[in-house]
Chains A and B, each alone.
Chain A
């Protein structure tokens, strides 16, 4: 939860997450996306990838957590869009791939039907390179929270 109503320029607390092969298997089962490029090196390399890559929708979901963790409620998201610009290659080891997420508030507006909606520009990087392009979320934020302390 944010202590104060957010303003333009507010930086979200960053998240660094490791994605392992086990996470990909689990996401495949939960989402129903069993494309073998997300679990088979043989298939991934046969289509020209360096190896097994994370589901784009998993990366999108993880980056969404940056925003909803900050807003304090997964039900607060109003809209969310990304472009998948670069794959996250997940090695077959215990460390996995490190995805680093950060975000900044670019607008705060009155919402239809009351309340306030913050627009957040998200940056997601893997090995220092952006993996999501034009990643923007709109999330309902508490209107006038009292300044804590």
Chain B
């Protein structure tokens, strides 16, 4: 059983994640995004961006590993192997771009157990190293309630 006392708490902020220009290109190509502002720094600058910009869902590449590290901690009591992703939302306060250094803070918003499943709602606040907000993501994760629920 996941630890219900975590609800309403936030984890310590992650170490800064450096957004690589080539990581953005790799991600863009993996989703078939061919826009020049995602692939070519000169085109991005010509469009008024500091560097190549990330497609809107790029934040999962650095928020999900932070979430996974949290949920795989045996003390949390979460069956990661049987987890499914229920929903996902992303609010972008500005586009993420190459060269960004981003800090993620995971907030545990809600935990419910219903019909043999645990349902966990997390919010990730993504900010630059000066603390200016860059993105807010929210997701629902569901896993089987193994032992008597």
Could you list which residues of chain A lie within 8 angstroms of chain B, going by C-beta atoms? 17, 23, 26-27, 29-33, 47, 56-58, 60-62, 64-65, 68, 73-75, 77-84, 133-134
- Whether the pair B56, A56 counts as a contact (CB closer than 8 A) is no
- A73, A75, A81, A133, most chain B CB atoms within 10 A: A75
- Whether the pair A57, B32 counts as a contact (CB closer than 8 A) is no
- Whether the pair B57, A73 counts as a contact (CB closer than 8 A) is no
In the bound complex, what is the Cα–Cα distance between A83 and B61 (angstroms)? Answer: 19
Residue among B32, B64, B90, B95 making CB contact with A32, cutoff 8 Å: B64
- Whether the pair A57, B88 counts as a contact (CB closer than 8 A) is yes
Contacts of B31 in A (CB 8 A): 27, 30, 58, 61-62, 64-65
- Whether the pair A30, B29 counts as a contact (CB closer than 8 A) is yes
Asked if B10 CB lies within 8 Å of chain A CBs, one says: no
- Whether the pair B53, A80 counts as a contact (CB closer than 8 A) is no
Contacts of B90 in A (CB 8 A): 79-81
Give the distance to chain A from B146, nearest Cβ to Cβ, in Å. 14
Q: Given the known A-B contacts A31-B27, A31-B61, A74-B53, are A81 and B88 also in contact in the complex, defined by CB atoms under 8 Å?
A: yes
- Whether the pair A17, B32 counts as a contact (CB closer than 8 A) is yes
Q: Given the known A-B contacts A33-B64, A65-B32, are A77 and B56 also in contact in the complex, defined by CB atoms under 8 Å?
A: yes
